[in-house]
Structure 1
Amino acid sequence: MASNKEELKLFGMRLSPFVSRVEIALKLKGVEYKYELEKMGNLSETLINYNPVYKKVPVLVHNEKPVSESLVILEYIDEIWKQNPILPSDPYKRSLARFWSNFIDDKCFSAMGKTFYTIDEHERETSIEETKVAIQILENELNDKFFGGEDIGFLDITAVLIAYWLPILYEAIGLKLFTNDKFPKLYKWSQDFNNHPIVKETLPPRETLLAFYIAHYESLAASK
């Protein structure tokens, strides 16, 4: 637990998968923090001062020292609070967790975004195929209950983007990609992950997230 002398704040938004990563890690470690809610499109001056380079959430502020970017924050949390480690102790396994986490952000998130924001049917089909290829690669990498073995680890937390956000994002635009038939190992992993007590209490309500993406997509389509 953070001592009385420590001050820990998380600047975030409730519907952000990147903020959820940080919340899950903090709660897995039993670390207390204060949540500073930011508004989309109307970020506070405090947040911008803490993260002047990217001007976005999440930002973790520990004793007035800001740490930005969700994967960097996860590593910081694991280094500061040693209980319930999320990164493997073995250097090689640790490097793999980092590699696949970067893969999720570089390949999976990128393809998901292109699918959601693309109206052109040909371009969308291309991005859907890119997503399938990326998800299949992850499917092939999963050999235990979780990517971290029997317990949730760094890569599982990173992959909340796949476990929770991807199916909802695709449902919002009328697509169904992430199914038990197509990706049986990942699908079961996602169910175990989403239903983990700490993860479950951290994730935003499904109905709220789906309604947000439907409204956002309809707005995008209307503006084309």
Structure 2
Amino acid sequence: MATAGGGAGKLKLLGAWPSPFVNRVRVALHLKGLEYENVEEDLTNKSDLLLASNPVHKKVPVLLHGDRPVSESLVIVEYLDDAFPGAGQALLPADPYERAVARFWAAYVDGKLHGMMVKAILGATEEERAAATADALAAMDTLEGAFAECSGGKEFFAGDAPGYLDVALGGFIGWLRAWDKVGGVKLLDAGRIPRLAAWADRFAALDVAKEVIPDPDHIAEFGKVLQARSAAAAAGN
């Protein structure tokens, strides 16, 4: 792997293994061929370094480039392209319109799909969870269409090789594969969304993804812990 350049020092990533946002950054770092130190945070007892590095949101991931912190996963992915233009492959398309399209769909993943996934397992009522599950399935249907549009019939959203949007959604693959055990519904259903399901298999088979994407069984166990905590908190109110 390449070492960090630009005179800003080494790369250190503050993260947590179940986080799809952390995992997308790790995949991006691997695609760029960049060496970094992976620091696992205890999110129930956040480190002083994390709180000082991201005082606004107090969340992972945070990338430290030397002593300079960069927060928010998609911002970090773009930063890696800008700060290390000669390392590995470019993640964002060169064409301005294609860059805009990739950013639009990445924002859709975070704003729509992720939001519905959270509500589907942590919603306060059965009705809320059911409605969110239906919305999550609809979001996957929409992303099936986005893949057909963006890929141009090739293997990845970005074409022949994974790029920005592949990384953005790819960080969620561990959760998507575990969803039948966590949310009771199969989100990556090859019968419903064949293109997206096949894409997920290809992405997960990449060496850079194998090193990062959590095992679905481990994700399912973690998801059940989150559900238990949410239920206990609701019962205490």
Which residue is 1:168 aligned to?
A: 178
Which residue is 2:14 aligned to?
A: 11
Identify the match of residue 53 of structure 1 among 52, 56, 67: 56
Which residue is 1:97 aligned to?
A: 102
Which residue is 1:76 aligned to?
A: 79
Distance in 2 separating the partners of 1:47 and 1:120: 33
What's the CA shift for 1:66? 0.4
Secondary structure at the aligned position of 1:27 is classed as helix
Q: Is the CA contact 2:92–2:163 (under 8 Å) kept in the aligned structure 1?
A: yes
What's the CA shift for 1:151? 0.5
Identify the match of residue 161 of structure 2 among 151, 175, 199: 151
Structure 1 spans left out of the alignment, 5+ residues: none
Which residue is 1:44 aligned to?
A: 47
What's the CA shift for 1:222? 4.8
The superposition leaves residues 199-223 of structure 1 with CA deviations (integer Å, 9 ceiling, x where unpaired) of 0111123322221112322343355
Distance in 1 separating the partners of 2:171 and 2:33: 22
Supply the RMSD in Å over aligned alpha carbons: 1.7
Q: Is the CA contact 1:109–1:161 (under 8 Å) kept in the aligned structure 2?
A: no
Distance in 2 separating the partners of 1:96 and 1:80: 22
The worse-fitting range, judged by mean Cα deviation, of 166-175 and 142-151 is: 166-175
> Structure 1: which amino acid aligns with 2:79?
Y
TM-score between both structures, scaled by the size of structure 1: 0.93
What's the CA shift for 1:162? 4.3
Q: Is the CA contact 1:180–1:187 (under 8 Å) kept in the aligned structure 2?
A: yes
**What is the correspondence of 1:86-165 to structure 2 with a 5 Å cutoff?**
86-143=91-148, 144-165=154-175
> Structure 1: which amino acid aligns with 2:197?
Y
What's the CA shift for 1:170? 4.1
The superposition leaves residues 28-86 of structure 1 with CA deviations (integer Å, 9 ceiling, x where unpaired) of 11100111221021111111111000001000011211000000000000111123101
Q: Is the CA contact 2:3–2:35 (under 8 Å) kept in the aligned structure 1?
A: yes
> Structure 2: which amino acid aligns with 1:90?
D
> Structure 2: which amino acid aligns with 1:198?
V
What's the CA shift for 1:125? 2.0
Secondary structure at the aligned position of 1:113 is classed as helix
Residues 1:62 and 2:65 aligned together: yes
Q: Is the CA contact 1:136–1:183 (under 8 Å) kept in the aligned structure 2?
A: yes
Which residue is 1:2 aligned to?
A: 3
What's the CA shift for 1:128? 1.5
What's the CA shift for 1:177? 3.1
Identify the match of residue 23 of structure 2 among 2, 20, 24: 20
What fraction of aligned residue pairs are identical, expressed as a percent?
37
**What is the correspondence of 1:190-205 to structure 2 with a 5 Å cutoff?**
190-205=200-215
Q: Is the CA contact 1:173–1:214 (under 8 Å) kept in the aligned structure 2?
A: no
Q: Is the CA contact 1:59–1:68 (under 8 Å) kept in the aligned structure 2?
A: yes
Which residue is 2:151 aligned to?
A: none
